[in-house]
């Protein structure tokens, strides 16, 4: 169902991302590391899950969204959940998987009921590289690659006691039957985390296959909604569909939520546009508030307000200096804008900066005035 609000797992439920899907499958099947990037709610997780399902390779899926200050236990729980899921999904390979993983330091596995325990302390503490080596051996035995998927991989930078780029470089160079896929909605942070452009990074100079999701055009948004309603046998007036297509800026996650709510409450469908916009804006406001609380500079408040309208670098600098009544250092402004770009809060097109997502623009206006 196109309007399924959970991540899609079947190609038939994935709207018109054929090119991106084939490109992702190509990367997963051949490249040691694939990066799947795109702003939030543009379908990265759905695209990844459909690709994994289509390929049929065994995979370990780690949802790495973490708290601000994750502990050893937090990350251990992520590894535990991912391995339990991996074992339970691969019944024909269960004996082989358990046999190999039980040899990994710090990993204990019980089968009745299935439970994986990860130890981070003592003599037999968990060794991440050993886990990847064990998975590589499984891949060798079955003649297929094992895919390791890190969803929202930029969050791994908070795990300061593990050098992930070094581990990923080791996998790249030595483990032929392991493929890595890293997804990221904060694209600049993901690239900095793995060190794509840093000569000091152990991954510098290595080929990585990059696939990006996208916002839908207005015409695609209308088509997506029309096909979704047709699939459900629901008739919605064109004016409502077109109004929703304009409101949600081509973000398929918001369009899906609107379509689902319309299907569940057909009589009040026109009201659902405002309802979903309100929900979306509240979520975006929470994300903006969280960002602002994590930053020392008050200038982010001003910049976000300015960038609800598209502006050039010189115009931003001029407006900021007028507001503060003092000169703003060029490097300081560049650093502030780079941070916003890295977090995918703003976009830069034709040397102009703007908060491209209309939902986020509305959130900033409501939050900051």
pLDDT score of 267: 77
The overall average pLDDT reported for the chain is 92
Give the mean model confidence (pLDDT) for residues 281-297: 89
Pick the CATH number of 297-368 from 1.10.10.10, 3.40.640.10, 1.10.1040.50, 3.40.50.300: 1.10.10.10
Edge-first strand order for the sheet with 59-63 is 59-63, 146-151, 178-184, 33-37, 209-212
Percent pLDDT > 90 in the chain is 76
Least confident of 94-98, 101-105, 149-153, 340-344: 340-344
pLDDT score of 294: 80
Instruction: Tell me: pLDDT of 227 over 80.
Output: yes
User: Strands 352-354 and 347-349: what pairing?
Assistant: antiparallel
Mapping DSSP to helix (H, G, I), strand (E, B) and coil, where does residue 310 land?
coil
Instruction: Tell me: pLDDT of 142 over 90.
Output: yes
Instruction: Tell me: pLDDT of 92 over 90.
Output: yes
> Rounded CA gap, 203 and 305, in Å?
37
**Distances from the Cα of 105 to the Cαs of 61, 139, 147, 149, 150, in angstroms?**
20, 19, 21, 21, 21
Ranges for all domains in the chain classified under CATH 1.10.10.10: 297-368
Measured on CA atoms in the order 28, 31, 33, 39, is the torsion positive or negative? negative
Domain 218-285 fold: Helicase, Ruva Protein; domain 3 (1.10.8)
pLDDT score of 67: 67
Give the mean model confidence (pLDDT) for residues 227-239: 92
Give the mean model confidence (pLDDT) for residues 304-314: 96
Confidence category of residue 364, pLDDT binned at 50, 70, 90: very high
Give the mean model confidence (pLDDT) for residues 354-361: 91
Ranges for all domains in the chain classified under CATH 1.10.8.60: 218-285
Residue 310, φ and ψ in degrees, nearest 5:
-65, 130
> Rounded CA gap, 272 and 149, in Å?
35
pLDDT (tens digit, 9 = 90+) per residue, 256-277? 999 998 888 877 777 778 888 8
Instruction: Tell me: pLDDT of 138 over 90.
Output: yes
Give the mean model confidence (pLDDT) for residues 195-202: 89
Bridge partners (DSSP) listed for residue 148: 60, 180
Give the mean model confidence (pLDDT) for residues 325-340: 94
Edge-first strand order for the sheet with 347-349 is 311-312, 352-354, 347-349
pLDDT (tens digit, 9 = 90+) per residue, 144-193? 999 999 999 999 999 988 999 999 999 999 999 999 999 999 888 899 99
pLDDT score of 139: 97
> Tokens 């405002």 identify what position?
274
User: Strands 146-151 and 178-184: what pairing?
Assistant: parallel
CA-based nearest residue to 54, from 114, 14, 101, 1: 14
> How is residue 239 written in tokens?
């004016």
Confidence category of residue 100, pLDDT binned at 50, 70, 90: very high
**Distances from the Cα of 304 to the Cαs of 18, 204, 236, 273, 320, in angstroms?**
35, 33, 36, 25, 11
Ranges for all domains in the chain classified under CATH 3.40.50.300: 11-212
Bridge partners (DSSP) listed for residue 210: 35
Instruction: Tell me: pLDDT of 15 over 80.
Output: yes
Considering only the top CATH level, what class is 11-212?
alpha beta
> Rounded CA gap, 175 and 130, in Å?
11
> Rounded CA gap, 247 and 308, in Å?
15
Give the mean model confidence (pLDDT) for residues 14-37: 95
């Amino acid at each position: 169902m196109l309007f399924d609000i959970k991540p899609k797992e079947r190609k038939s439920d994935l709207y018109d991302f054929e090119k991106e899907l084939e490109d992702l499958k190509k990367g997963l099947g051949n490249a040691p590391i694939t990066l799947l990037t795109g702003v939030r709610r543009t379908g990265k997780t759905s695209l990844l899950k459909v690709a994994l399902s289509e390929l049929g390779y065994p995979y370990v899926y780690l949802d790495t969204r973490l708290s601000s200050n994750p502990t050893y236990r937090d990350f251990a729980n992520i590894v535990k959940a991912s391995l339990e899921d991996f074992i339970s999904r691969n019944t024909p390979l269960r004996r082989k998987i358990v046999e190999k993983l039980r040899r990994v330091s710090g990993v204990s596995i019980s089968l009745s009921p299935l439970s994986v325990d990860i130890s981070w302390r003592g003599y037999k503490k968990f060794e991440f590289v050993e886990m990847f080596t064990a998975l590589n051996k499984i891949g060798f035995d079955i003649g297929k690659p094992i895919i390791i998927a890190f969803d929202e991989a930029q969050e791994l930078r908070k795990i300061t006691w593990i050098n992930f780029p070094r581990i990923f470089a080791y996998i790249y160079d030595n483990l032929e039957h392991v493929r890595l896929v890293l997804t990221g909605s904060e694209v600049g942070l993901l690239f900095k985390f793995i060190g794509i452009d840093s000569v000091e990074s152990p991954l510098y100079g290595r080929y990585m296959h990059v696939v990006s999701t996208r916002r839908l055009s207005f015409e695609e948004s209308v088509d997506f909604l029309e096909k979704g309603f047709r699939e459900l046998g629901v008739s919605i007036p064109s004016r409502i569909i077109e109004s929703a297509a304009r409101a949600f800026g081509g973000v398929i996650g918001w369009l899906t939520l609107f379509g689902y709510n319309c299907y569940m409450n057909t009589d009040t469908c026109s009201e659902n546009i405002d309802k979903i916009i309100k929900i979306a804006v509240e979520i975006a406001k929470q994300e903006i508030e969280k960002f602002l609380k994590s930053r020392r500079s008050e200038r982010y408040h001003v910049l976000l307000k300015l960038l609800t309208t598209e502006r050039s670098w010189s115009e931003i600098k001029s407006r900021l200096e007028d507001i503060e009544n003092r000169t703003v250092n060029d490097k300081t402004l560049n650093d502030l804008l780079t941070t916003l770009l890295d977090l995918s809060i703003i976009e830069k097109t034709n040397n102009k900066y703007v908060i491209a997502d209309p939902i986020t623009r509305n959130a900033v206006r409501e939050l900051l005035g």
